[in-house]
Structure 1
Amino acid sequence: MQLIIQLDAETVRQLDAIQEHTNQEPTLVIQQGISLYYQQLQPHREFYIETKKQYGLVGSSPVSISSN
């Protein structure tokens, strides 16, 4: 997948600082950042699944409410 992104000045400053300290290409820095973010979300995902199991909601479909 190819992405074209636009960064604000502060994010560019942060990316430059990371590159300066690690000597890594921007692509690798961004890939590692996404990986870290994904790892942080995993405990929340597990908690969500366990909560659904606890209340017997596993496999249930979301309820859709429409107003007329």
Structure 2
Amino acid sequence: MQLIIELDIEATRQLEAIQDHTNQDSMLVIQQGISLYYQQLQPHRQFYIDTKKQYELIGSSAAITSSN
């Protein structure tokens, strides 16, 4: 996938600071940033899945109880 992005002044400054500190090109910095952001979202995703399963189980047991 090819993206063309326009950064504001602060994002540009931050990208340049990261590049100066790591000696990485902008493509690698952005790819790693996306990867880190994705990793941060995973615990939240799993929490959502677990919570949904709990509510489904509660709803199932309530339906079984009310039918008896």
| Category of TM-score, reference length = shorter chain | 0.7 to 0.9
| Structure 2 stretches lacking a partner, 5+ long | 58-68
Q: How does 1:1-68 map to 2 (within 5 A)?
A: 1-56=1-56
What fraction of aligned residue pairs are identical, expressed as a percent? 79
User: How many residue pairs were aligned?
Assistant: 57
Q: TM-score, normalised by structure 2?
A: 0.82
The one-character-per-residue Cα deviations of 1:30-64 (angstroms, maximum 9, x if unpaired) are 0000000000000000000000000007xxxxxxx
Q: 1:7: how far off? A: 0.2
Q: What do the CA deviations read for 1:3-42 (whole angstroms, capped 9, x no partner)?
A: 0000000000000000000000000000000000000000
Tell me the C-alpha RMSD between the 2 structures: 1.0
TM-score (norm 1): 0.82
Aligned residue identity for 1:30:
I
Query: Which has more radius of gyration?
Result: 2
